[in-house]
């Protein structure tokens, strides 16, 4: 599929699944090495991260646990800056090594908020793995960002877990808004 239409918006093919798969294998190797004798708690930020998280987890050979939380800040194609917690983490993370899994880091506001919140629960460490990062949109300095699949421009993207108004998450490839 070369193009995708959602709500009268046209998206064009951008990152193929074969490339995503290859990149995930590299990230997994790094995580396997960095957490060799640890048992990290891998926390998925719903909804967007679920497909990336599943593929990444299957490539991990370390001992690990999973948990989820859900926040939302996006309305239409622009970040609102206001973060709503829709599903709160109910797992004890004290003294645990946390790997937070994101689909995409845009302004960084969501991540900054989440990291500060998690830090109050005294984990041993926090690192972030994000499939995508928009460096030109980033407004915060976040030292915890350790594993990034792809750096992209300020395009709006969908697919492979990412949505536009709730739709488009169920494609293997990633698409970007055609301009
Ligand atoms: P931030 O707080 O601005 O970094 O926004 C992060 C959240 O906005 C991500 O977790 C996504 O859910 C959403 N988001 C940002 N950029 C895109 C995009 O290009 N496509 C789909 N969702 C996006
Ligand atoms: Mg998200």
List of E strands, the chain: 3-6, 9-15, 41-46, 65-75, 78-87, 97-105, 125-133, 145-151, 157-158, 174-177
pTM: 0.95
Structural contact between residues 123 and 98, judged by C-beta atoms closer than 8 angstroms: yes
The residue nearest atom 5 of ligand 1, judged by CA position, is 106
**Catalytic annotation, residues:** 106
Query: Distances from the Cα of 91 to the Cαs of 10, 59, 65, 98, in angstroms?
Result: 40, 24, 11, 12
- Ligand 1 centre to CA of 79 (Å) is 7
Element (H, E) at 24: helix 17-34
Structural contact between residues 150 and 133, judged by C-beta atoms closer than 8 angstroms: yes
Q: What pLDDT sits at residue 165?
A: 93
The residue nearest atom 16 of ligand 1, judged by CA position, is 106
- Ligand 1 centre to CA of 104 (Å) is 5
DSSP state letter for 179 = -
> pLDDT digit of tens for each residue in the chain (179 aa)?
789 999 999 999 999 999 999 999 999 999 999 999 999 999 999 999 999 999 999 999 999 999 999 988 766 677 666 888 888 898 999 999 999 999 999 999 999 999 999 999 999 999 999 999 999 999 999 999 999 999 999 999 999 999 999 999 999 999 999 98
Residues with CB under 6 A from ligand 1: 48, 73-74, 79, 102-111, 156-158, 162-163
């Amino acid at each position: 599929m070369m193009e995708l239409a959602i709500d009268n918006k046209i998206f064009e093919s951008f990152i193929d699944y074969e490339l995503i798969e290859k990149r995930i294998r590299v990230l997994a190797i790094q995580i396997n090495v960095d957490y060799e004798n640890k048992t990290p708690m891998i926390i998925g930020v719903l909804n967007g991260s679920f497909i990336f998280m599943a593929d990444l987890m299957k490539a991990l050979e370390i001992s690990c646990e999973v948990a989820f939380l859900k926040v939302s800040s996006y309305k239409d194609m622009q970040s609102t800056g206001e973060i709503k917690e829709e599903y709160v983490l109910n797992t004890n993370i004290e003294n645990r090594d946390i790997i937070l899994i994101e689909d995409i880091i845009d302004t960084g506001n969501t991540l900054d908020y989440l990291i500060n919140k998690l830090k109050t629960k005294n984990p041993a460490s926090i690192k972030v793995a994000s499939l995508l990062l928009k460096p030109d949109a980033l407004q915060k300095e976040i030292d915890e960002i350790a594993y990034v699949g792809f750096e992209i421009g300020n395009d709006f993207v969908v697919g492979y877990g990412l949505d536009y108004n709730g739709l488009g998450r169920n494609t293997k490839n990633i698409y970007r808004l055609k301009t």
